[in-house]
Amino acid sequence: MLELKNISFEAEDGKQILKNISLKIDNRFVAVTGPNGGGKSTLAKIIVGIYKPTSGSILLDGKDITDCSITERANMGMSYAFQQPVRFKGLRVRDLLKMASGNNASLDDCCEMLSEVGLCAREYVDRELNDSLSGGEMKRIEIAMVLARKTVINVFDEPEAGIDLWSFQNLIRVFEKMYAETKGSILIISHQERILDIADKIIYLKDGVVEQYGAKNEVLPNLLNGTSGFCPALTNNNK
């Protein structure tokens, strides 16, 4: 179980991004949603150790991990799929999968990892993670790396953003399968109703404050009815 106690985060320019957030994440699948600039990505980065909170503490299964580094948290079983996957000149898809899975990543292993996200290993393992890959390809490889780690806490920052050519339904299936076949928890930042719809619980974060946190069945109708700042006209239009 992941617990955040009184977490605040102030940016370098003095702006208060997160304001005294306390949360217990004890369900298998929790979605974080809310308007842009509300602090969702900051929250994810604080959980995986990229940012240190200005105040407050983070507990993993009761252990205070606030001062643990990114590496230490990764080795405790945390994974993080970046919103904007990082590109590397020279490093290949196979190299990253090898680091992620901790094994030698044979073509068969890579095939298993990449086919989950709809990519053919034969075509991709030797590709460099440079500008030659599209944003959508990078995004899928990013998700594959998290799947390959088989960790207890899996944080995804807007996995749906930039997913191209590959149907959105497949992405949903990836998370459903992960939920069904692994024991880990999934924490996913998303604006997509269909992703929110498969979560156990939803956190609605706005202006650095948790406005709502509860079971999907309670929170999602409020969001779709526009009572929490979601624009009803847009929501209806998108239906």
Partner 1 sequence: MDTLQMHLLKEVAELDALPVGAYNIRANGESAARNTTANIDIVTKTDKPGIDIIIKPGTKNESVHIPVVLSQTGLKESVYNDFYIGEDSDVVIIAGCGIHNCGGVDSEHDGIHSFHVGKNAKVKYIEKHYGEGEGRGKRLMNPTTEVFLEEGATMEMEATQISGIDDTLRKTTASLDKDASLVIHEKVLTDGEQSAVSDFSADLNGEGSSCNIVSRTVAKGNSKQHFISVLNGNAACAGHSECDSIIMDNANVLASPQLSASCTDAGLIHEAAIGKIAGEQLMKLMTLGLTEAEAEEQIVNGFLR
The residues that touch partner 1, with contacts defined as CB under 8 A, are 48, 50, 69-71, 74-75, 78-80, 82, 85-86, 88-92, 95-96, 99-100, 102, 145, 149
SS3 of residue 14 by DSSP: coil
Centre a 10 Å sphere on the Cβ of residue 39 and count the other Cβ atoms it contains: 24
Q: How many residues does the structure list for the chain?
A: 239
Residue 217 corresponds to which amino acid?
N
User: What tokens were used for 100?
Assistant: 């992620």
What is the nearest approach in angstroms of partner 1 to the Cβ of residue 74? 4
What is the nearest approach in angstroms of partner 1 to the Cβ of residue 83? 11
Residue placing its CB nearer to partner 1 in the complex, 88 or 168:
88
What is the nearest approach in angstroms of partner 1 to the Cβ of residue 50? 6
Q: What share of the chain is helix, strand, coil (3-state, %, to 5)?
A: 35, 25, 40
Question: Look-up: residue for tokens 């605040």?
Answer: 8
SS3 of residue 185 by DSSP: strand
Residue placing its CB nearer to partner 1 in the complex, 9 or 230:
9
Residue placing its CB nearer to partner 1 in the complex, 157 or 213:
157
Residue placing its CB nearer to partner 1 in the complex, 40 or 201:
40
What distances in angstroms separate CA 201 from CA 52, 108, 188, one per listed residue?
25, 36, 11
Residue placing its CB nearer to partner 1 in the complex, 31 or 44:
44
What distances in angstroms separate CA 233 from CA 169, 204, 225, 236, one per listed residue?
24, 19, 10, 5
What is the nearest approach in angstroms of partner 1 to the Cβ of residue 142? 9
What is the nearest approach in angstroms of partner 1 to the Cβ of residue 78? 8
Residue placing its CB nearer to partner 1 in the complex, 62 or 90:
90
**Residue 223: partners with Cβ closer than 8 Å, 6 or more residues away:** 33, 196, 202, 204, 212, 230
What is the nearest approach in angstroms of partner 1 to the Cβ of residue 202? 25
